Amino acid sequence: MADIIENLKHKYKAGNVITRLLFINTLVFVALKVVMVIFTLFNIHAVDPVTFLGVPSHVPILLSRFWTPITYMFVHEGFLHLLFNMLWLYWFGQIFLQYFSGRTLGSLYLLGGLAGALFYAVAFNTIPYYTDMDRGWMIGASAAVMSIVMGAAFYRPEVQMNLLFLGSIKIVYIAVFAFLIDFLSLGSTANPGGHVAHIGGALLGYLFAVHYKRGKDITNWMSRLLDGLVGLFKPRQKSARMKVKHSRNETDWEYNKRRNDEQEVIDAILDKLKQSGYGSLSSDEKKKLFDASKK
């Protein structure tokens, strides 16, 4: 048992941000199930741990449970709910990380979740259809995951994903289809809060992609906040006598734009190579192709 725990710890520490989010969501799910079993065996009904971590629709309760807009996006009550959210996070997260850093993905996950919580709270206190419903609460990573889905899909809409029975489909079509399903389900009595939250997360992801293409990263402030929080828990190291500092003069947006421009040039050279052969390439094109092969 100790070996299993140590192995899991190693995978968590060595894994990327997607791996860590998968671990956290799964660990919270298992821990809550254990707590609920114990509560049931000992007839403890005063506190429901799931609702205590979920976002309440009633504003006074929400203000008193100020932590819930963060905690709710890591809580799942059913295994299938957890499974589908984590699959979407894994599939689209891998695509997202081809163009952005893990730091950006983690920040967008949190911002998407916060946007979902905001949409949920506002809708259930202003829109008549929802205000007539009984006061409730919401859990799940769906809004946070939808921000990753939309962010990846609208930043690189030409990327394709292979789906069972359907073949290769552009991810932007998958994202738009998921958004339409949620939008058309806003009047449904089944999981109404979830659909509202999905819309909030999806719009945040879309705004991220649109602004990033214009040179602005709306996740920067969250990334800086997370860096500061992480720094509080890091042990202080003794300062060395000599420090060597390496820095990149480019911003994340400039770096990603340059890398994408370079890839487009290489793709054009490869297309020319397929159509006309190696002899048709200029000396400059041959050099660029050679340099790219060494990266």
What does the DSSP 8-state code read for residue 238? P
Q: What is the pTM of this model?
A: 0.80
The CATH code of the domain that includes 129 is 1.20.1540.10
Domain of 268 in residue numbering reads as: 252-293
Residues 117, 165 share a domain: yes
- Under 8 Å between Cβ of 108 and 148: yes
Q: What is the pLDDT of residue 244?
A: 47
| Band of pLDDT at residue 10, cut at 50, 70 and 90 | confident
pLDDT digits (tens, 9 = 90+) for 114-157: 999 999 999 999 999 999 998 899 999 999 999 999 999 999 99
Instruction: Please tell me the distance from the alpha carbon of residue 155 to that of residue 105, in angstroms, as a whole number.
Output: 13
With tokens 């950006």, the residue in question is 104
Residues 107, 206 share a domain: yes
How many structural domains does the chain have?
2
Q: Helix, strand, coil: what percent of the chain each, to 5?
A: 70, 5, 25
**Would you call 168 helix, strand, or coil by DSSP?**
strand
Query: Which helix (DSSP H) or strand (DSSP E) does residue 181 occupy?
Result: helix 171-184
Residue 245, pLDDT above cutoff 80 = no
Instruction: Please tell me the distance from the alpha carbon of residue 73 to that of residue 196, in angstroms, as a whole number.
Output: 14
What does the DSSP 8-state code read for residue 91? H
- Under 8 Å between Cβ of 56 and 62: yes
Q: 45-59, 216-230, 247-261: which range is least confident on average? A: 247-261
